[in-house]
Each structure stands twice: as C-alpha cells, then as structure tokens.
Amino acid sequence: MIFNKGNVLFLFLFILIGTMCTVKEQYTLVLGKIPFPKDNPDSPEKRAFGKLLFFDKRLSKNNEVSCASCHQPSKAFTDGLPKSRGVRGSIAMRNAPSLLNSAYFSSYMYDGEVKTLEQQVLVPIQDHREMGSSMKEVLQKLSKDSNYKRLAKQIFQRELDAYVVTRALSTYERSLISQNSRFDQYRAGAKSILNADEIAGWKLFSEKLYCTKCHSGANFTNYQVVSNGLYSDYGIDQGRYRINGLEKEKGAFKVPSLRNVSLTAPYMHDGSIQTLREVISHYSKGGSRFPNKSSIIKPFKLNNLEINQLELFLKTLVDTSTVN
C-alpha cells in the first residue's frame, strides 16, 4: 500500500464519513450501555439494596412516605398528581418526573441544577414538603436495622452511612431502563409495528413541526433548561431563575423526557396540563406571550386528523415492560 496523496485523501474521507455516521447513529439510536460512574460501579446486590431503600418509608419524618410514594413504578415512576404530596399532607413544589432512564440524564430536577443521582438523593430527604427529614435522622433509624447493617458491610465494606445510602439508591435508579416501546421496536426495524397514523404523527413531531428541536435523542430531550411559554407570568415558581437570580432564566425548566408520556399525566413542572391534546393545543397556539419564551415555539395549524396522529405517536413511546 502506497501512501500517495490520493490514497491519504481517500482514507481521510473514509474515516470522516465513518465518524459522521456513528455520531448520527448514537443520536438517534437506543440508549447504549448504562453509564455507571467509576466510583459507584453496578452490582446486582447493590441494586437490590437500593430498591429496599427506595420503598422504605423510614427515609421520611414519622415514616410517612418513601421515594416510591411519589415515584410509583406503575405510573412510570411518577404519582399522577399535579404536585406531589409529602409528609404531613404537605404539597411539594412541583410535579414528580419519571425516573426511567435517569442514568442517562446530564442533570437533574426541573432547574437542571443537580449533577449526579448520588447528590440528588439528599434533596427529597431534606425538603420539608417532601420527606421532611435529614440524613442524620434517617441514619439513626436505619442503623437499627440489622439486615441493612449487614448489607452495608457486605456490599460497601463499611458502616451504614450517607455514602452507602446515596450510592445504593442511585444504583437502583440507574437500573430503571425503558427502551422497549413500540416506537423503539419500529426504529429497530419492525416497520409494521406502527400503523400509518402513528408514523404520520412521528413525521409531524420530527419533520413538519419543531418538537425535536428540544425533545430530541433517545430520551426525547436535549436536557436544555428553557421556557416553552407555559405562562405569561410564572407566579411563584420561576424555574431556574431561583438558582442564580438571572432574569433570562425566568420561566426556564429542563426539557422533560417524553418516554412513557401516556403514563405520566398531568404534565409540565406544575402538573397544570391534564391531557396530551391540551399540550398539543398549548404549542399550536404558540404558547403564552413571555419575554424568555424560546423563539422556536411558534403557532401552527393542524387539522383534527393531524392532532390525533401526533397524540397517537406520543402514545407509542410507552414501554409497559418497565411498569411492573
């Protein structure tokens, strides 16, 4: 093989086109390997321990609620309420998001402010409207459990402490995967699994309208924190503005995943929209007039058939294998 100019150029183009193809594949394709962090590797025992903790009400004040009270498996790890209910009947600030595929998220919470699942665990435990407790109080209770003490020793080689609780819980959360919806099967080559209306809905979503500008990739989100113009005045919850007090972040919320969206009603950060048809109507009106509203959101006209098709497509994203 001679490295003359022509050959080198050919080789270069070959590699370039090759990489472009793989990048595109990754973008559109299924989720890929679960990204377990190096300092918290996966193991079946750790997942099982995390699952026990996830369903354990002792993580809250007066043992009233567990993580699973607000993140119920049968509702794709949401709770069906506009805003979740925590200890002593208090109302949480927001709507509970699904935890499916949260292993892949680049940030957590509607503000996109929390960077790892390990860190996130502390938030609900301490929030007085959610679990209303503290890690210290939780550890005092859990340390009396001889099974938990044994598991901590066996899996982490240490006493039951905050390290153990946060690592076990986040390992369980990373195991909550949803990638077998009818739409996934369609993308994987089972072309006859969707009917003509559902495919037409996907075309509306991805080509005719602008939805994939934000709801893109394998989880139908680009993880950006933006305003979709839900309100002209966001009232008490101004979104990411509460983190840094930046005017331009008023009304900005993390783009939610749309996987299993037919199980996660009501919608938006405050659960203010009941149905998918009403969500579609919100976008078709171009949202509310709001200075920070993303310039992508513009009014559009769909006829009744097209509205149905878009809704039918959104419903193909449900993966019932994960809800049991």
- Angstrom CA distances, 78 to 15, 68, 140, 147, 236, stand at 44, 9, 28, 29, 23
Q: Does 218 bind ligand HEC (CB under 6 A)?
A: no
Query: 70 or 318, CB closer to ligand HEC?
Result: 70
Stretch that binds ligand HEC, among 4-12, 27-35, 184-192, 254-262 (CB under 6 A): 254-262
Q: Yes or no: say if 67 and 133 are a contact pair by the CB < 8 Å rule.
A: no
Stretch that binds ligand HEC, among 16-24, 30-38, 91-99, 180-188 (CB under 6 A): 91-99
Query: 99 or 218, CB closer to ligand HEC?
Result: 99
Question: Quick one: which of 76, 52, 68, 240 has its CA closest to 148?
Answer: 52
Token pair belonging to 1: 């093989």
Q: Does 200 bind ligand HEC (CB under 6 A)?
A: no
Q: Does 210 bind ligand HEC (CB under 6 A)?
A: yes
Contact track, ligand HEC, 124-163, x by CB under 6 A: xx----xx--------------------------------
Query: 11 or 123, CB closer to ligand HEC?
Result: 123
Label residues 176-213 b or e (16+ Cβ within 10 Å = b): bbbbebbbbbbbeeeeebbeebbbbbbebbbeebbbee
Token pair belonging to 309: 């098709």
Token pair belonging to 110: 């509607």
DSSP class of residue 155 equals I
> Which listed residue (47, 57, 203, 213) binds ligand HEC by CB under 6 A?
213
Q: Does 317 bind ligand HEC (CB under 6 A)?
A: no
Smallest distance, ligand HEC to C-beta of residue 271, A: 8
Omega into 124 within 30° of 0, i.e. cis?
A: no
For residue 91, the cross-strand partners are 85
Smallest distance, ligand HEC to C-beta of residue 7, A: 45
Which residue bears the tokens 């929390």?
114
Binding site for ligand HEC (CB under 6 A): 59, 65, 67, 69-71, 84, 86, 92-94, 96-97, 99, 102, 105, 108-110, 117, 120-121, 124-125, 130-131, 169, 173, 209-211, 213-215, 226, 228, 230, 253, 255-256, 258, 261, 264, 267-269, 276, 279-280, 283, 294, 296-297
